[in-house]
Structure 1
Amino acid sequence: MVMPVIDAKKAWIIAGGSYNPITAGHFIMMDTVREKCQAMGYTVDRGYFSPVPDAYRMNKPKLLDASVRAEMVALACSDSWLQLHDWEWRQHEFVRTRVLLDHIQEEAGPDVKLFFACGADLIDSMAHHPSWSPEDVCHLLKKYVFVVVERTQASADRVAAIIGSEPHMAPGNETIVVTQPTVENDISSTMVRDAVKERRPLSGLVHPAVAQYIVEHGLYSE
């Protein structure tokens, strides 16, 4: 008997951040989230890195121009299932997560579920930082899935405690998922910048094309 083919649910994975620069660790995170999505019964159609715009340089003066960071993301994704999302970094003001995800959802259409890749610190910020309005948080947690990639059970316990700490985080019981990275991942953008300053090799930290770009343009040397 031939079993009927059932179309799996479609998902796009989004990850926001400075990407100053994008690292191998970011790719490990996204591969982890893709595995989690697939385990939940979704077919991952696309995965996007969305760099923050230049407006964030008000708080991070050493943040490189958005066009430079976006170009490094594009280089790193050149041979990957992941892509640069080209909207947020071109904006002239801060972009709230709600605005970003709603924009991408409109682009994706109603048949695609958006998964947002993040760490426990973002969930903590959503619960307690005044920059996140309860209205935005409720909207996000009801409409999208947040996949928190953390390395320890303590981090999972922390996320559960955060969700239970504020009434407006209640939808997160259904839409915040904690998972562990598929491989050891302690690579950060700070680690890459320090390696450049100390003239250490970047092999294994960033994509070879990104390493070449950093050297050719003299980035992070000061």
Structure 2
Amino acid sequence: MTARRIGILGGTFDPIHCGHIDAARAAEEALGLTRLFLITSNVPPHRAAPVASSYHRFAMVALAVSNRPTWFASDIELRSAAPSYTSTTLQRFHGEGYAPAELFFLIGADAFAEIETWRDYPQILDLAQFAVVSRPGLPVAELRHRLPSLADRIISIDAPTADVSATDVRQRIAAGESIAGLVPPAVRQHIERHGLYTTMSGRLHGED
């Protein structure tokens, strides 16, 4: 029986972009993942409210993974009206029969740099294996120097990822600029078809 190695990548995905995809692919290859769940958050506790609706954000994730048979768009957090805490989500996976050793929580180095502010820290580090992916401007090696006490609690994945953020994508759309190459083609088509992010406002600044 093949051992289960389950990747979990959460995010507001407003919208999902090539940086997310690159990180997921790097983790899949480095960790030998058998399944990868991309979880769209409902109410992110550490960020501003999303710009696009949960319907559109989940739809874009579903489109982004549609040609990858071992990747799955999950609405586990969207089904709850409560804030989307990672500890709660990981405990739900435990309730479905997954052991902490089988779960790999994928996170960018920039986000992990704030782990000490998360709910249920440091106990949250026992709920899954934390796989930290380098981000442009913040390689995992530098993160280990910033948080030396956590160096032996993480799996480092030093792989190149697209230098793009959701904020960049939204701002380019609002300015009438092309986002080709920044998001998967099916996601770009969905954004254009539904006129998402076309109005410039303060809410353009949110999740990366």
The alignment's TM-score, normalised by the length of structure 2, stands at 0.82
Question: Cα offset for 1:70?
Answer: 0.5
Deviations 1:80-113 (A, max 9, x none): 2321112102210102111111112332534961
Q: Which residue of 2 aligns with 1:148?
A: 132
Structure in which a larger fraction of residues adopt helix: 1
Change (3 A) 1:190 1:162: same
Deviations 1:135-180 (A, max 9, x none): x22332223111111157963344223433xxxxx5x444312222
Task: Determine which structure has more spread, i.e. the larger CA radius of gyration.
Answer: 1
Task: Identify unmatched segments of 5+ residues in structure 1.
Answer: 1-6, 39-43, 165-169
Which letter does structure 1 place at the counterpart of 2:76? W
Q: Which residue of 2 aligns with 1:177?
A: 155
In 1, the alpha carbon distance for the partners of 2:152 and 2:46 equals 35
In 2, the alpha carbon distance for the partners of 1:11 and 1:96 equals 22
Q: 1:117 aligns with which of 91, 106, 115?
A: 106
Which letter does structure 2 place at the counterpart of 1:159? L
Aligned positions, number: 198
Question: Cα offset for 1:115?
Answer: 0.6
Task: Identify unmatched segments of 5+ residues in structure 2.
Answer: 200-208
Is the 8 Å Cα contact of residues 144 and 175 (structure 1) preserved in structure 2?
A: no
Which letter does structure 2 place at the counterpart of 1:12? I
Q: Which residue of 2 aligns with 1:20?
A: 14
90-99 or 155-164: bigger deviation: 155-164
Is the 8 Å Cα contact of residues 27 and 131 (structure 2) preserved in structure 1?
A: yes
Q: Secondary structure at the match of 1:9?
A: coil
Q: Percent identity?
A: 27
